[in-house]
Structure 1
Amino acid sequence: MELGTPGAMREELTALVVAGVKTATAGTLEEYQLETEGLEYVGERLAVLGNDGRVAATVAVTGVETVPFAEVSWEFAQAEGEGFTSVEHWRSAHRRYWQRTGTPVDDDSPVVLVSFRLVDGAGDDAPPQR
């Protein structure tokens, strides 16, 4: 899993995961379709990659939900750990981000909400999936 765009944004988001502050992330369903990528599933372990492509952390998926953009909850926005002050602040920031990356959203756009927890990989015999 690579968070945000390469550079300072990815560095910051990855650091938040490593610190245990960021326990959720969102993507548009359109992004999944464009990348021909299946949705994550509960129990799946994912390698979180830094800017250098190296594994910075391993997380275990604890929840996956697809909802219209306008229905993303404040609880989810807080779990992203990025300092949003309201769900409206989260929506505004994500609208700008997805506009910049070529997948603009409206209130009805399906958004995939992935919740996870930081995992201690010691003794784990199941390799993380990217």
Structure 2
Amino acid sequence: MDIKTYWNNFKTEHPEVTTNDYEAFSLGGEDDIEEQDSLANLIKNGIKTATTSAYDLYKQDETDPLPQVGEYGIILDGHNQPTCITKTVVVETVPFNQVSAEHAYHEGEGTRGLDEWRKDHWKFFKQEYADEHHPFNEELPCVCEVYKVVYK
């Protein structure tokens, strides 16, 4: 099903939603279909209810604004097919080394522990910053977003 039809089906079932503002996206590596499918399924099944991104890299890309409470997202799988719609319920910015164990748990990946979260995200953010020719350290701000599935 195409994204626009999926959104319109959601709006038909939820007439209280009057906006047509949403972002359609997949999570995971750009070319990693298996990872995108896995993360989409974790979200759809309510296991992954949070994500973390690098605050400083939002400033680099003016076409990708910071997430806002109340925004809708259409989660795509590795084949760009809609799997569910989320609504952002919390957005906070904290240094990498202050991301909580609770947030790591809600990210829903692996053991859901903070140590594993820090190890995996350190590697990921270090590479993202390197791609932008910036060093990464544990004090840099991260955007911690919490969402809920509102349609599947």
The normalised TM-score by structure 1 is: 0.83
**RMSD, matched Cα:** 1.8
Distance of 1:85 and 1:22 partners within structure 2: 10
Matching residue's letter, 2:29: T
Task: Indicate the residue corresponding to 1:21 in structure 2.
Answer: 47
Q: Which has the larger radius of gyration?
A: 2
Task: Indicate the residue corresponding to 1:127 in structure 2.
Answer: none
Task: Indicate the residue corresponding to 2:18 in structure 1.
Answer: none
Tell me, yes or no, if structure 1 residue 3 matches structure 2 residue 3. Answer: no
Distance of 1:96 and 1:58 partners within structure 2: 28
Deviations 1:81-109 (A, max 9, x none): 00335312211111112234436631111
Task: Indicate the residue corresponding to 2:19 in structure 1.
Answer: none
Structure 1 stretches of 5 or more lacking a match?
122-130
Compare relative contact order (CA 8 Å, sep 6+) and give the higher one, 1 or 2: 1
Does 13-22 or 73-82 show the bigger shift? Answer: 13-22
Question: Alignment partner of 2:86: what SS?
Answer: strand
Tell me, yes or no, if structure 1 residue 79 matches structure 2 residue 110. Answer: no
Distance of 2:36 and 2:60 partners within structure 1: 20
How far 1:79 sits from its partner (Å)? 0.1
| Identity among equivalent pairs (%) | 30
The 8 Å contact of residues 106 and 112 in structure 2, kept in 1 or not, is answered as no
Deviations 1:47-94 (A, max 9, x none): 112222222210010100011000000000000000335312211111
Tell me, yes or no, if structure 1 residue 105 matches structure 2 residue 139. Answer: no
Runs of 4+ residues over 2 Å off in structure 1:
83-86, 98-105
How far 1:19 sits from its partner (Å)? 1.0
Matched residues, number: 121
